Structure 1
Amino acid sequence: MLGVIPSIVRTWKSTNSVSGYNWSTIRCFSSTGEASNVDEYLWLMGRARYKPVIECCGGTEIGGGFVSGSLLQAQSLAAFSTPVMGCSLFILGSDGCPVPKNKPGIGELVLGPAIFGSSTTLLNADHYDVYFKGMPMWNGKVLRRHGDMFELTARGYYRAHGRADDTMNLGGIKVSSVEIERICNEVDDCVLETAAIGVPPPAGGPEQLVIAVVFKDPGNNTTAYLQLRMSFNSAVQKKLNPLFRVSRVVPLQSLPRTATNKVMRRILHQQFAQLDQTSKL
């Protein structure tokens, strides 16, 4: 079994750095840490005679996983097929209440309160405030906040769409940063990765869409940078929503990440907001 995270696979695919390796003895892949991409994982499977990718999603605060793939079930690329043993999943609707089980939809994922290995205290924070305050009830118990955006498909698979706090409001429409980034990452071969951030303008008003972009070749991006905003605009409007508009493209050497390699969009949001405020002054 080869364990991967989507960022590593994306780099392998874009740089072709694993060409020539013999992966024929791999029986399956495991993936966790970030929301994955169908095209990238189909490419990954092709390196090892199309062996399956078993997705797992969890967290330190619950001592492991809460949703996973399984070799005992038919799998779908970049998706999870089942809650793990002892865990129940719910997706919150627009009214803040759990949608009926087995009903397709997308929303913030919450967990049943009884989970093997789940935390009961936190260092330097109130455990109840972080995980249970303001959460809806189910069977007489308060559900546990997790913070990921999840989709339950019509075929019964779960798909991760990044953190619920990695969403933005563009023209009154709530959209996940991950959805926009998947589109922008495929716009041009010069792009290594992107981060989509909603930044309020200095004078107030609706959030503006800013795309942070990391180039494969940082020293040769002038022409690409001049064209990228229009290319991003066109792709996002065509594939996602014709009302969305990319306000700025900001080139970066790298994206800020946590120790587990997750993009820290909050840091970028703070940096871009400070730049806007400085330019206003």
Structure 2
Amino acid sequence: MAIVIPNRSSTLSIELRDGDISWQDFLERVDKSKEVEYIGVELPVEASTNILFSSGTTGEPKAIPWTATTPLRAAADGWSLNIGKDDVVAWPTNLGWMMGPWLIYSTLLNGATMALYNGSPLGAGFAKFVQDAKVTMLGVVPSIVRAWKSTNCTAGYDWSSICHFASTGEASGVDESLWLMGRAQYKPIIEICGGTEIGGGFIAGSLLQPQSLSAFSTAAMGCSLFILGEDGSPRPFDSPGIGELALGPLLFGASSTLLNADHYGVYYTGMPVWNGKVLRRHGDVFERTSRGYYRAHGRADDTMNLGGVKVSSVEIEKVCNAVDESILETAAVGVPPPGGGPDKLVIAVVFKDSKGSKDNLNSLKVSLNSALQKKLNPLFKVSHIVVLHSLPRTATNKVMRRVLRQQFSQVGSKL
């Protein structure tokens, strides 16, 4: 069925196909629906509201049920972002990513209006939509902001209705943040970091505190944060330092089961005990600065964050290994750029022949990008290819991607 919108006038000048309806008839269905009685069904709080697939902090992708409490977790995030009944919220996303259901819950449960755009958010069409819909809170992924900045597609559009931005999905850069703020008379950007298994954010910025660009200022509502030291124990709360992040186990709305893995084994086994309770693993490396802000430093395991999407190295490598018959094996790592911002995807390649195809790396890079964008995500992009004779491995033959990440980070300015 198609809903047909008149081009200029309020009436259609064409004959509709069987099954199609006009825009006006579609709107009139709202009045008719008021006569329909919807009866709620009582279910236990553990009942699933939807199921999302995610790398789930560590390892292979997992099937993560969201329960009846998860919408309230998302709504709390929205309330903390000052989303209310007079707001119009737009956030480019889809229902396959947690931000899709999060947008529905956090917007509607707080009485606000969703602004839904059908099409790519990367061009001037979306910029005009934000203007015409009078969006008051615009959510972004830093990769989208970089695309806007590079093409200047927002030029000429009035975004003065925006009260503030929200940014999540990957680490943002200071330059892009300043540029985005400038599109709306330098309204603030609230950073959020969360997870599909959390049902929302666990760390965020706040409109109630002084903010620092591309940084977080507080734990999200209902969350407690712990940065683990080298000995695996939590660091003092008020001391600067860097380490793997852990979460307090009492986290309303977070996952308690997985459909294809052992939930306790994934999130709790091997974690330290604090005040008699086992902390919850998340897997990101975070830094607490001397000024009390938090900065994200990427994944502690082999799951990386590209274009706002968490993806395992294994998923990328499966695609890359099949691109060219001359490839023996590959290793995919996310390398943080020297100036901060989202990780760059670097592919280490080992060719079957020692002579390999080093002379055709530009062509190989194009092929890798094409395959990744077609089979995994259109936002994925290979930044650099490094040719190696062999991949570093453990005694049990596992690829040591952390070693590669460290090596590539040391020469990050050249990548």
Pairwise TM-score range, normalised by the shorter structure? 0.5 to 0.7
User: 1:196 is matched with which residue?
Assistant: 346
Q: Are the structure 2 counterparts of residues 160 and 258 from structure 1 closer, same or farther at C-alpha, using a change threshold of 3 Å? A: farther
Gaps of 5+ in 1: 169-175, 186-192, 203-221, 227-248
Q: What does residue 139 of structure 1 align with?
A: 275
Q: Is the 8 A contact 1:161 1:178 kept in 2?
A: no
| Maintained 8 Å contact 1:258/1:264 | no
1:157 matched residue in structure 2: 293
TM-aligned CA deviation for residue 201 of structure 1: 6.8
> Structure 2: which amino acid aligns with 1:31?
S
| SS at 1:24 equivalent | coil
- The alignment partner of 1:106 has SS state of strand
1:68 correspondence with 2:218: no
Contact 1:180–1:196 (8 Å) recurs in 2: no
Relative to structure 1, the CA distance from residue 256 to residue 45 in structure 2 (aligned partners, 3 Å threshold; closer, same or farther) is same
Query: Counterpart of 2:224 in structure 1: which amino acid?
Result: S
**Once superposed, what is the RMSD of the aligned Cα atoms?**
3.9
Does residue 82 (structure 1) correspond to residue 198 (structure 2)? The answer is no
One of 336, 339, 343 as aligned partner of 1:179? 336
Following superposition of structure 1 onto structure 2, how do residues 188-227 of structure 1 map, counting pairs within 5 Å? Answer: 194-196=344-346, 199=348
In the alignment, the residues of structure 1 paired with residue 285 and residue 156 of structure 2 have an alpha-carbon distance, to the nearest angstrom, of 37
> Does the 8 Å contact 2:346/2:386 carry over to 1?
no
Judged with a 3 Å threshold, the aligned counterparts in structure 2 of structure 1 residues 261 and 140 are, in CA distance, closer, same or farther, namely farther
1:253 to 366, 369, 378: 369
1:6 and 2:142 matched: yes
Kindly tell me: are residues 184 and 133 of structure 1, through their superposed partners in 2, closer, same or farther at Cα, counting changes over 3 Å?
A: closer
Match of 1:44 in 2: 180
Alignment partners' CA distance in 1, 2:206 and 2:179: 20
Partners of 1:183 and 1:74 lie apart in 2 by: 21
Contact 1:34 1:262 (8 Å CA) reproduced? no
In the alignment, the residues of structure 2 paired with residue 65 and residue 48 of structure 1 have an alpha-carbon distance, to the nearest angstrom, of 25
CA contact (8 A) 1:33 1:262 kept: no
Specify the alignment match of 1:16 in structure 2.
Answer: 152
* Number of aligned residues: 217
Contact 2:204 2:217 in 1 (8 A): yes
Give the Cα–Cα distance (whole angstroms) in 2 for the partners of residues 110 and 144 of structure 1.
6
Instruction: Report what 2:257 is aligned to.
Output: 121
Q: In structure 2, list runs of 5 or more residues that go unmatched.
A: 1-136, 305-332, 352-359, 392-415
Matching residue of 1:218: none
Say which SS state the counterpart of residue 40 (structure 1) adopts.
helix
1:127-155 per-residue CA deviation (whole Å, 9 max, x = no partner) reads 01100011111111111001111111111
Q: Report if the CA contact (8 A) 1:107-1:149 is conserved.
A: yes
- Higher-Rg structure is 2
Change (3 A) 1:57 1:183: closer
The match for 2:83 is none
Q: Distance in 1 between matches of 2:202 and 2:231?
A: 24
TM-score norm. by structure 1 comes to 0.66
**Which digits, 9 at most, give the CA deviation of each residue in 1:163-218, with x for residues without a partner?**
222599xxxxxxx9442375799xxxxxxx94135x5979xxxxxxxxxxxxxxxx
